[in-house]
Each structure stands twice: as C-alpha cells, then as structure tokens.
C-alpha cells in the first residue's frame, strides 16, 4: 500500500471511530495521529498516536485532516488547519452558524486548499444511482422531492436540534440530485423532549426552477426511516437509503380497460423497476472521493461553499418556524452535479 498522503483525525466520538476505521485501511493514505482530549479507551485509533491538541497533530506533518469533533468546535479547528495549510474534510454541518460557515469557506478558499463537508448521503449507492438517472434525463422534468427522515432520539446529540443534525442531510441531497437551489421555505417545529432544541420539523420548500420539496424530519419515532422520492413527468423514483435500494414507478404505457380497477388503482399506474446497485459502504466512498480530490484526481466532493448553502437553508427553516412566515432565500450557486 502506498502511503502518499498523511492524514489526521480530530475526534473519536460516534462518527470519529468510524472515520478512524476507514482511514486505517484506505489505500494511498496513512493515519498518522488522532486528536481527542478524552483519549482512546476503546482502541478505536487502532494503534495511531492519540494526541491532546490540534497543535500536536500539526507537528507530525499532515496533508489533510478529518474533523469529527462537536459542531460548535468546527470553526476553531478548521481555522487552525487552514492557517497551517492543511486540507480538511469536515463532518456536516460545516459549522453551527451561517457566519462561522462563511468564515471557514473564506479561510480555505483564499489559501487554495481542498476542503469538503461530510454530507454522507451523497455517497449512498441509491442516491448516486438516482443522481445518474436524473442527470441522464430518465425522469424528464422534476416536479417534487419528498423526504422522510425519522427515528429514535439520539442521546449523543446535545448541541443542535433536528434541523441542523438531520434535516441538513435532506436539504443537501435535494439540491444535489436536482442541481437546484432553494428559493424559499416554510416550516413548523415541535419541542417534546424537554431540550432547548426542536425534535421535529416539517418543511415545504420551493426550488429555483419552481419544483417543490417537502421534508418531514424527527427523532421522536420508534421507526427508523430514510425515504426519498423524486416525482417527475415520467414517474417516480424512490430511494431507501437505509437499505440502499432504488425503485422506479413509471407512468402507465398501457390503458386499463376494466373500469372499476381503473378507478381503484388510478390511470397512471405503470411498471415498477427495482435496480440492482453495487452497495459499497458510503463512508468508504466518501473517503476515497476526498482522497482523490486532495490528490487532484477528481473533484466529486461536497465543497465548503455547498455546505454553507445548506447551513443558510437550515437557518431559514428555523427562522420560518420561529416567525410563522415563509422565508425567501437569496439566489446562490447551484449545488452538485444534478440534472
């Protein structure tokens, strides 16, 4: 194995331990150090030195670092890396506020450093297949994107609510697969757990081309669900990102002559196709893509600027819920490689 790139990891929590596992087996990369003030009682670093500070990690000499510490620390850690000339893959969201996200974008862009955000859904096999099919025009004009992301309360999350923790996945993937930015959002939130942050959000969004987006996100449900549907002029794609399955329900090509059955089923029911998709681990794909970006091989990553746009939309969602009005979002750059 070539160890051309020297990588560091900051944070050994619920996500950091998985990053450590992947980095330890990633071709062309060597994990040279991990930062966590709490140490490594569980052996997740797999032999890599565990350090107390980011300065200690920088002293080892690294090409890039994965930032998996609490969201509130992303700006501080990211600025340290940028000032040292180190590329960074930052866990989502890029930062906990729009202002801090902008600061990180400026810090890395002005230095010409490769930096990305770990919006892991971009690496899910079902969504990558969906993106390719939308880009090829298989659905025709897109009318609506609907997502449901719900499950039990994650006790590890204490610093943000469901909008910044979970809904940012849906905001990013919607812009990414459609290639459209959000023009406005109207949202409602619910607080049931006794915490200062919201536990549930319902969002109705309008995209820049006039298509619609609807998101239902919560951590109040015993049912864990990760559902994305994209409806257009030729039918509907449905992606289950828990199982990485993608199906297509087409509009009918054959008329239904049985009148009673036609009324029951609807006149547009057509064939259903479930696609066979290679199902690689999304986190491994994310690391491979970021490694390749650092090496200059490709640029298939979620950039910090795209991550900033997602934080801006999340802030608009929270403002809409607080104010009870629809919030317009200034035009921005399209996200990703959508159709």
Q: Which CATH number fits domain 122-280+306-328: 3.40.50.1370, 1.25.40.10, 3.40.50.300, 3.30.360.10?
A: 3.30.360.10
Q: Beta-carbon neighbour count of residue 88 at 10 Å?
A: 27
* Statement: residue 13 has pLDDT above 80: yes
Average pLDDT of the segment spanning 165-186:
97
253 falls in which pLDDT band (50, 70, 90)? low
How far, in Å, CA of 282 to CA of 276, rounded? Answer: 17
Task: Name the residue with higher pLDDT: 299 or 9.
Answer: 9
Return the structure tokens found at 295: 């090496």
158 falls in which pLDDT band (50, 70, 90)? low
Strand ranges (E), 254-338: 269-274, 327-328
Residues β-bridged to residue 35? 10, 51
The whole model's pTM is what?
0.90
Average pLDDT of the segment spanning 234-258:
85
252 falls in which pLDDT band (50, 70, 90)? confident
* Statement: residue 163 has pLDDT above 50: yes
Q: What is the pLDDT of residue 333?
A: 56
Q: At what angle do helices 74-83 and 98-110 cross, to 10 degrees?
A: 10
Task: Name the residue with higher pLDDT: 68 or 154.
Answer: 68
pLDDT tens per residue across span 25-59: 999 999 999 999 999 999 999 999 999 999 999 99
| Residue found under tokens 């910090």 | 304
pLDDT tens per residue across span 268-289: 567 899 999 999 999 999 999 9
Closest CA to 299 of 338, 273, 336, 248: 336
pLDDT tens per residue across span 210-226: 999 999 999 999 999 99
Q: What is the pLDDT of residue 115?
A: 98
Distances 299 to 178, 255, 295, 307 between C-alpha atoms, Å = 18, 46, 10, 15
At a CB cut-off of 8 Å and minimum separation 6, what does 338 contact? Answer: 131, 134, 135, 175, 176, 177, 178, 179, 180
How far, in Å, CA of 247 to CA of 7, rounded? Answer: 38
Task: Name the residue with higher pLDDT: 87 or 256.
Answer: 87
| Residue found under tokens 């990102």 | 241
196 falls in which pLDDT band (50, 70, 90)? confident
What are the strands of the beta sheet with 115-118, ordered from one edge? 50-51, 29-35, 5-10, 64-67, 87-91, 115-118
CATH fold match for the domains 5-119+285-302 and 122-280+306-328: no
332 falls in which pLDDT band (50, 70, 90)? low
**334 in Cβ contact with 175 (< 8 Å):** yes
Average pLDDT of the segment spanning 294-323:
97
How far, in Å, CA of 240 to CA of 228, rounded? Answer: 7
Q: What is the pLDDT of residue 160?
A: 80
At a CB cut-off of 8 Å and minimum separation 6, what does 196 contact? Answer: none
* Statement: residue 266 has pLDDT above 80: no
CA atoms within 13 A on the CB side of 37: 5
How far, in Å, CA of 125 to CA of 134, rounded? Answer: 14
Query: Among 8-17, 106-115, 155-164, 188-197, whose mean pLDDT is lowest?
Result: 155-164
| Residue found under tokens 């619920």 | 14
Tell me, what DSSP letter sits at residue 123? G
**Percentage of the chain modeled with pLDDT above 90:** 83
Strand ranges (E), the chain: 5-10, 29-35, 50-51, 64-67, 87-91, 115-118, 142-150, 182-190, 200-207, 212-218, 225-232, 235-240, 245-251, 269-274, 327-328
Across all residues in the chain, what is the average pLDDT? 92
Q: What is the pLDDT of residue 181?
A: 96
Closest CA to 276 of 298, 248, 300, 249: 248
* Statement: residue 130 has pLDDT above 90: yes
Q: What is the pLDDT of residue 37?
A: 93
Task: Output helix, strand, coil percentages for the chain, rounded to the nearest 5.
Answer: 35, 25, 40
Domain-by-domain residue ranges, the chain? 5-119+285-302, 122-280+306-328
Residues β-bridged to residue 118? 91
Rg (CA), the chain: 21
Q: What is the CATH number assigned to the segment(s) 5-119+285-302?
A: 3.40.50.720
């Amino acid at each position: 194995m070539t160890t051309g790139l020297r990588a560091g990891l900051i944070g050994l929590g619920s996500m950091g331990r998985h990053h450590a596992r992947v980095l330890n087996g990633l071709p062309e990369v060597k994990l040279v150090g991990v930062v966590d003030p709490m140490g490594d009682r569980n052996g997740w670093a797999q032999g890599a030195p565990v350090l107390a500070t980011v300065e200690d990690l920088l002293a080892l000499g690294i090409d890039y670092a994965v930032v998996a510490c609490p969201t509130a620390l992303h700006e501080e850690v990211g600025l340290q890396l940028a000032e040292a000339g180190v590329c960074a893959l930052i866990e989502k969201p890029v930062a906990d506020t729009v202002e801090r996200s902008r600061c990180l974008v400026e810090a890395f862009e002005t230095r010409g450093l490769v930096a990305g955000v770990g919006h892991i859904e971009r690496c899910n096999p079902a969504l990558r297949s969906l993106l390719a099919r939308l880009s090829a025009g298989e659905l025709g004009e897109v009318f609506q994107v609907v997502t449901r992301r719900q499950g039990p309360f994650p006790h590890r999350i204490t610093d943000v609510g469901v909008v910044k923790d979970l809904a940012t996945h849906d905001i990013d993937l919607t812009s990414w697969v459609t290639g459209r930015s959000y023009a406005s959002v109207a949202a409602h939130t619910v607080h049931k757990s006794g915490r200062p942050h919201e536990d549930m959000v319902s969002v109705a969004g309008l995209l820049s081309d006039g298509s619609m987006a609807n998101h239902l996100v919560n951590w109040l449900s015993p049912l864990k669900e990760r559902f994305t549907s994209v409806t257009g002029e030729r039918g509907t794609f449905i992606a289950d990102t828990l199982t990485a399955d993608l199906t297509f329900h087409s509009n009918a090509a054959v008329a239904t002559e049985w009148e009673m059955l036609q009324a029951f089923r609807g006149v547009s029911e057509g064939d259903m196709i479930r696609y066979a998709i290679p199902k690689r681990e999304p986190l491994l794909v994310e690391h491979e893509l970021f490694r390749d970006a650092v090496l200059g091989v490709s640029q298939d990553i979620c950039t910090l600027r795209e991550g900033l746009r997602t934080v801006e939309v999340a802030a608009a969602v929270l403002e809409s819920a607080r104010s009870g009005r629809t919030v317009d979002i200034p035009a921005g750059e399209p996200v990703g490689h959508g159709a």
